[in-house]
Chains A and B, each alone.
Chain A
Amino acid sequence: MNPNTLQNALLVATLDAQPWDSLDSVPDERRYLAALDGTQPLSVEEKRQLWLSPAARVRFFNARALRLAEVAVAWKRQGLQNTGQRLAADGGNTDIARVRTADFTLTLQRDDTDPAKPEWIMILKLEGELRQSLENGGFAVTVIDSGGLEWFHGTPDQDGTVSTVWSHLKSPLDRLRDHSITVKPC
C-alpha cells in the first residue's frame, strides 16, 4: 500500500480522536482564506493549531470550500474548457483513448503487462489557466463523467499531471462511449 495512504490513515485516526474545542479561540475564515491564497502563509504556531484543533479545522475547511466554489465560478467565467468528450477521430483504437480540450488532456492507456489482469492507466495533463488556478489555491483535482462516476482524484505534480489506474469494474472505454468527462477542483 502507498506509504502516503498509510500516513494519511494515521492522521485521520489521530484527528478523529481529538476532543472538540472552541471556535472562540481559533482564527476566522478570513485568516485561512489568506493562507490559501498564499498572501499570508500560516505561521508554525497556526499550522500546529490546525492539526490540534477540530474547531480550527472547521474554519479551515469552510474557507477551503469557499475558495473551491470560487475557483469553479472563475473557470466558468473565463470559459475554460473543463469538460470534454472522446471524439470520433480518436475512435477505433481499443488500447488507447484520449479526451482532449484546450485546457486538459486525459489519456487512457491499456496495460497488458499481466494479460490475466489488464489495467487501464490514466494520465491527466492540465494546461494553462486551469492548471495555474489549481496550483495557486493548492487544490487537488477530480475527474467525473457525466454519469456521475468519479474516475479518480489527485494532486497535480509540478508538470500539472495526475496519473493513476482505473479502479472501476466497467471499462473506461465503455464509459467514454456514453459520457463526457469533467475536471473539477477538490
Chain B
Amino acid sequence: MRQIWAWARDTLTSSAGSAKKKSIAGYWRACTFERPRIIGAGSSGSAKRAPFNGPFTTSRPAARHIDVVIKDIERRRLANAAERNGYGGPWGFALALFDDVAQLQRFLVKGQGAICGNLADVAPASALGQKVEDYLAEARRRYLSPDKPNRARVWGQICKIERELTRDCPVSWPLDRDHLDRMMAEITSLIRGGDNNLPRNSDGLEAFYRQFDPRCRDQSMDANQDDDETWQEEKTHSLDEINAMIRITDIRPRMNEAFLSLPINLKPVFNNFLERISDCGAESIEAFCARSGMTLATYHRRIDEAKRHLKEALDDLI
C-alpha cells in the first residue's frame, strides 16, 4: 500500500508543475532507458526528436501493444500467487507497472518489435519509453482533468479500481483495505458535509493527501484503534444487504416486537423520522409539527424517547 501510495502521490506531484521532477515519466527516463525521444542521427549528424504521438489511444497499433503488455502483467499477477504476495497484494499489477520499472522494461523490450515494426529501427527503446510516457500522461490527464479537479473524482476512481481488484482479497490485506476505507470515509464525509475547501488544482490535491497519508498510516499502525470519528465509516448499506442480514440473524420478529411496543404517542413522530432518513419524500419536520400542533422541541424529545425505547428493546442484539 505504501508503494502504491507513493505512486499515487508521485503521479499527483508530477502533474502539479514542471518543477516537480519526481514524476513517473521522469523516473522512467532516469532508470529505464537511455534518454528517450531521440530517434537517431540524420545524415546531417543531428539528432531529431520523435514526433509526439498524442495521447494514448487504443486505435494506435503501438498503443494497443502497450495495452496488451499491461494486461499481460495483470494476468501474471493473477496467475502467480507468490508473485502477488511479493508485490504487495492486490496492487501487484499497479506496482509492477509503476514501481518495478525493470520488470516493465523486460516486458516492453520483449515486445519492441511489434511496437516499432522493425527491430532494426533506430531506437525502439525510446519509442517504447515514449509510449509509456504517453500512457502515464493520459492517466494523469484522466485523473486530474482541469475541468473537474477534485479529490473525490481522483480518489473515487483509484478506489474503485482498488475495490475491483481487492474484492476477493480482504483477508490477507487488512491494512490496504483499512487505508482505502478510511480514505473513502474521509472523502465522503467531507463532500456530504458540504465542504467548500475541496482542492481546485493538483497542488491543493497533493497537499491534502500529503496530510492524509501519515495520519492514516499512524492510525493503521496503532493497535489500540479507538473510535475516532475522523475515520467513521460512511458506507451506505443497500436494502438487499440489510435484508440478507435480517435473514441470517433472524432479527425481524424482534424488530417487529420492538416497534409494536413503542408508546402510541411516539409512533407517528418516529415514523416521520424514519421516512425522512429513508429519503422517500417525507413531510418536513416543520410541516409535521404544524399539522400535529407540536413544538419542535417535543418532536425531537419524542424521537429521542423512541430511540431509547428501541435501544432498550434490542440492546442484547444491536
What residues of chain A have their CB less than 8 Å away from a CB belonging to chain B?
Answer: 1, 3-24, 28-29, 35-36, 42, 44, 47-48, 50-52, 54, 57-62, 64-66, 138-140, 153, 155, 186
Contact = CB atoms under 8 A, between A and B. Distances in A.
Given A20-B178, A62-B167, A155 B274 contact: no
Contacts of A35: 248
A42 B182 contact: no
Contacts of A18: 232-233
Interface string B216-239: 000000000101110111111101
Contacts of B278: 1, 5-6, 8-9, 12
12 contacts: A1-B280, A6-B274, A6-B275, A7-B255, A11-B242, A22-B178, A22-B225, A23-B177, A47-B248, A50-B249, A57-B245, A65-B167
B277 A13 contact: yes
A155 B210 CA distance: 47
Given A12-B277, A19-B228, 11 more contacts: A7-B252, A8-B243, A9-B278, A12-B239, A23-B177, A28-B171, A29-B171, A42-B248, A48-B318, A61-B241, A138-B244
A18 B243 CA distance: 18
B275 to A, nearest CB: 6
Contacts of A58: 170, 177
Given A48-B317, A52-B318, A62 B182 contact: no
A19 B232 contact: yes
A62 B168 contact: yes
A60 to B, nearest CB: 7
B247 A155 contact: yes
A140 B243 contact: yes
B275 A186 contact: no
A23 B275 contact: no
A24 to B, nearest CB: 6
A9 B233 contact: no
The residue in A36, A44, A58 that gathers the most chain B C-beta atoms within 10 A of its C-beta is: A58
Contacts of A60: 244-245, 248
B164 interface: no
B289 interface: no
Contacts of A15: 235, 237, 242
A149 to B, nearest CB: 17
Given A3-B259, A5-B278, A20 B244 contact: no
